Each structure stands twice: as structure tokens, then as C-alpha cells.
């Protein structure tokens, strides 16, 4: 594969190559080897049409730690506000010589369109497209699970809770975790499960509480009010009562079970501050791991290793 558009595009071997390479990247960082010469002379463009804190900053840090030149493009303040299309923006980036374009867009399918059209020659990395996918978030989540749970995710039980309907993180996690052999359960109100979810490689339930004691991982999703119409929006109090991760629910979890959230969080809605800041929580680790995982993705895509299946370290 030349591009990373969907977590479902990764074979088990490719996913494991990314996760193992990320571990090597993290080990180098811990040995104070902050900068590698690997992508010297290459240009990575961060093309962000939607707001981001974690993803944009960590892709920038990852590219810089690999010695790439980085161009940060934000739609706000650009000629997009004058009506410039995705195609013309892409052709402009191509003229400047982008080797990789990391794209976040509010439209589901935007990354696929860039990859399919050939408007840019470089690798396209999906940094979140609408309510569709966020594959590097799923990779950093899987990396964090492996680190905390001690390796292989096969047979592990991952409970993803909340606003699945609007979550690109949920879809990418389900696809990747299924590839890695984990069992995924989605617990959500009926109005916040997407049409067609029964085709996804996971179980679904409306009833969170019976699932908690069986889970190795509980991942709370952000309630995405900005994508909801009034008809879909449950009251925050009712939502928290049925689906919020609070101390009482955390107390039911097995020893060693972890609590995750992709961020940004609505503290007090899908997760209480007490649980978000507890020893079970991996939320800060997920952010730190995101840099190593995105270093691995850029290194492997631009080195051609995911295209050919060969390992550039060999
Ligand atoms: N998890 C995530 O995508 O966060 P940002 O929107 O801050 O990038």
C-alpha cells in the first residue's frame, strides 16, 4: 500500500510491522536519540481542514524527528476561505513537492479521494475524515493496549462505549482490532449506533454494565455534539447515567484493565475526571505513543515498506 486511508487496509503483518517499528522509535527516543536522518530531504505536508490538537502536533513532531521538512496547512486563513477546492489545493501542494500529505477533513472520503485521484504523487495519510476513519488513532490505541496489557491482543476483550455514530475512531479501532484478533464490543444508545453496524466485525449492545467485568480495555468515545442534530442529542445527565465511565463503573473492572479515550474529552459527560486521571487511564500515554506510531507510519510509507511488504530495517 502507498497510502494509509483505512485501518482495514492493513494486513495483520503490516499492522504488526507498524507497531513493532513504533516500539523501536520509542526506544530510540528514550535513549535520547531524538532525531533520525531517515527522511532528510523529504517534505511532509499537514493538510488540516478541521481542528486538531493531538494529531496535528504529533504528526509534526514525528516528521521533524525523522528530519523531514514540514509544511503545516490550516484551512483557516488559507485560500480555502476564498472557495479554493480540495483539488486545486492538492495541485498547489504537488507543485511544491509533497512526499506525504497528512490530511484531516470534515468530509468522509476526502483522504480516499486524494489517494485515488493522483492529484498529489506523495503518500496520503488519513488523519481523520468526517465520521469515517482515523487509522493512526487506531494504531496508537493498539500500541498502547499492547504496551499496557503485555503484548499480543489476540483474544483480548475491548469495550468501546458511547457515540459510535459520529466516531471515526470507533470504526478504525474495530477494523484494526479485528485484524489483530481482539474481540470488540460496542456499547451505545440505539440512536448513537450507525446503520449497518451489524456488518462490522464486532458485537453491539445497548447495555454497558454487564460488559464491564469482562473487559480488558474500556474506551470511552467523545460525545460529538457538534455533529448531532437535536433529535439525536441525549441529555448529558441521562447519557452519563447510562454510559458515563465513573468511579462506580471503574470499580467493577478486572485488575489490570485499562481505560482509554482518544481525546478531546468532555469531562463529566462520557468520563469523570476521577477516572480520566486514575492509574487505569492511558489517556496521556496514548498521546505520547502517537508520536512514535506516526514516526513509524511515515518511515514505512515513505520507505515503501508497506507497499512491498518488505521491512526497511532488514
Ligand atoms: N484524537 C484526536 O484525533 O485528537 P485531535 O482532534 O486533537 O487531533
Confidence (pLDDT) at 190: 93
Q: How confident is the model at residue 310 (pLDDT cuts 50, 70, 90)?
A: low
Q: Which of these ranges, 32-36, 46-50, 296-300, has the smallest mean pLDDT?
A: 32-36
Q: Long-range contacts of range 208-211, CB-CB < 8 Å, 24 or more positions apart?
A: 208/159, 208/161, 208/242, 208/243, 208/249, 209/249, 209/252, 211/159, 211/185, 211/187
Question: Which of these ranges, 32-36, 69-73, 107-111, 167-171, has the smallest mean pLDDT?
Answer: 32-36
Q: What separation in Å is there between the alpha carbon of 55 and the centre of ligand 1?
A: 5
Average pLDDT over residues 92-111: 94
Q: Is 55 a catalytic residue?
A: yes
- Can you list the domains of the chain with their CATH numbers? 7-133+287-306 (3.40.50.1370), 135-282 (3.40.50.1370)
Average pLDDT, the chain: 94
Q: What is the pLDDT of residue 143?
A: 98
Mean pLDDT across 87-96? 92
Annotated binding site for carbamoyl phosphate: 54-55, 104, 134, 137, 263-264
**pLDDT, tens digit (0-9, with 9 covering 90-100), for 204-222:** 999 999 999 999 999 999 9
- pLDDT at residue 311 greater than cutoff 60: no
**Res 312: pLDDT:** 53
All three cell numbers of 75: 484551512
Distance 49 CA to ligand 1 centre (A): 13
Which atom of ligand 1 lies at the shortest distance from residue 127's CA?
A: 3
Q: For residues 134 and 172, is the Cβ–Cβ distance under 8 A?
A: yes
Give the dihedral sign, CA 147/183/225/165: positive
Instruction: Report the candidate in 213, 264, 222 with the shortest Cα–Cα distance to residue 243.
Output: 222
Beta bridge partners of 157: 183
104 is catalytic: yes
Residue 314 C-alpha to ligand 1 middle, in angstroms? Answer: 33
pLDDT score at 39:
97
Determine the Cα–Cα distance for residues 247 and 120; give it in Å rounded to an integer: 49
ipTM: 0.98
Catalytic site residue from 104, 132, 156, 157: 104
Q: What pLDDT was estimated at residue 109?
A: 96
How far apart CA 180 and CA 161 sit, in angstroms, is: 20
Task: Write down the pLDDT at residue 228.
Answer: 75
Asked if 134 is an active-site residue, the reply is yes
The secondary structure of residue 313, as a DSSP letter, is: T
pLDDT at position 140 is: 98
| CA-closest residue to ligand 1 atom 4 | 54
Going by their DSSP bridges, the two strands 100-105 and 203-205 should be labelled as: unpaired
310 Cα: distance to centroid of ligand 1 (angstroms): 30
Question: Which listed residue (2, 23, 38, 54) is catalytic?
Answer: 54
Q: What is residue 49's predicted lDDT score, i.e. its pLDDT?
A: 95
Q: 266 in helix, strand or coil?
A: coil
Share of the chain above pLDDT 90, in %: 83
CB of residue 265 inside a 6 A radius of ligand 1: no
Average pLDDT in the 242-246 region? Answer: 96
Alpha-carbon distance 186 to 299, whole Å?
A: 32
Residue 18 and residue 300 in contact, taking contact as beta carbons nearer than 8 Å:
yes
Structure letter (DSSP) for residue 274? H
- Cβ(9)–Cβ(300) under 8 Å? no
CA-based nearest residue to 290, from 18, 85, 67, 6: 18
Amino acid at each position: 500500500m502507498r497510502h494509509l486511508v483505512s485501518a482495514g487496509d492493513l494486513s495483520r503483518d503490516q499492522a504488526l510491522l507498524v507497531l513493532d517499528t513504533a516500539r523501536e522509535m520509542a526506544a530510540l527516543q528514550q535513549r535520547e536519540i531524538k532525531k533520525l536522518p531517515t527522511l532528510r530531504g523529504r517534505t511532509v505536508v499537514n493538510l488540516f481542514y478541521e481542528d486538531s490538537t493531538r494529531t496535528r502536533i504529533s504528526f509534526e513532531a514525528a516528521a521533524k524527528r525523522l528530519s523531514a521538512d514540514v509544511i503545516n496547512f490550516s484551512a483557516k486563513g488559507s485560500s480555502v476561505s476564498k472557495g479554493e477546492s480540495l483539488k486545486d489545493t492538492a495541485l498547489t501542494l504537488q507543485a511544491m513537492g509533497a512526499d506525504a500529505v497528512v490530511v484531516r477533513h470534515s468530509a468522509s472520503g476526502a483522504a480516499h479521494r486524494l489517494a485515488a485521484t493522483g492529484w498529489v504523487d506523495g503518500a496520503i495519510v488519513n488523519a481523520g475524515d468526517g465520521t469515517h476513519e482515523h487509522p493512526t488513532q487506531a494504531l496508537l490505541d493498539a500500541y498502547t493496549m499492547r504496551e499496557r496489557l503485555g503484548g499480543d491482543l489476540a483474544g483480548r476483550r475491548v469495550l468501546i462505549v458511547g457515540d459510535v455514530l459520529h466516531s471515526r475512531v470507533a470504526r478504525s479501532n474495530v477494523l484494526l482490532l479485528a485484524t489483530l484478533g481482539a474481540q470488540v464490543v460496542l456499547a451505545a444508545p440505539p440512536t448513537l449506533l450507525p446503520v449497518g453496524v451489524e456488518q462490522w466485525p464486532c458485537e453491539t449492545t445497548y447495555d454497558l454494565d454487564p460488559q464491564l467485568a469482562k473487559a480488558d480495555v474500556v474506551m470511552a468515545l467523545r460525545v460529538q455534539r457538534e455533529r448531532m442534530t437535536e433529535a439525536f442529542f441525549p441529555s448529558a445527565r441521562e447519557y452519563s447515567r447510562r454510559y458515563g465511565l465513573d468511579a462506580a463503573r471503574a470499580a467493577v473492572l478486572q485488575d489490570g484493565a485499562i481505560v482509554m479515550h482518544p481525546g478531546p474529552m468532555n469531562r463529566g459527560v462520557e468520563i469523570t475526571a476521577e477516572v480520566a486521571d486514575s492509574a487505569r487511564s492511558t489517556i496521556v500515554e496514548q498521546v505520547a505513543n502517537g508520536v512514535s506510531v506516526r514516526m513509524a507510519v511515515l518511515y514505512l510509507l515513505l520507505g515503501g515498506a508497506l507497499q512491498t511488504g518488505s521491512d526497511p530495517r532488514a
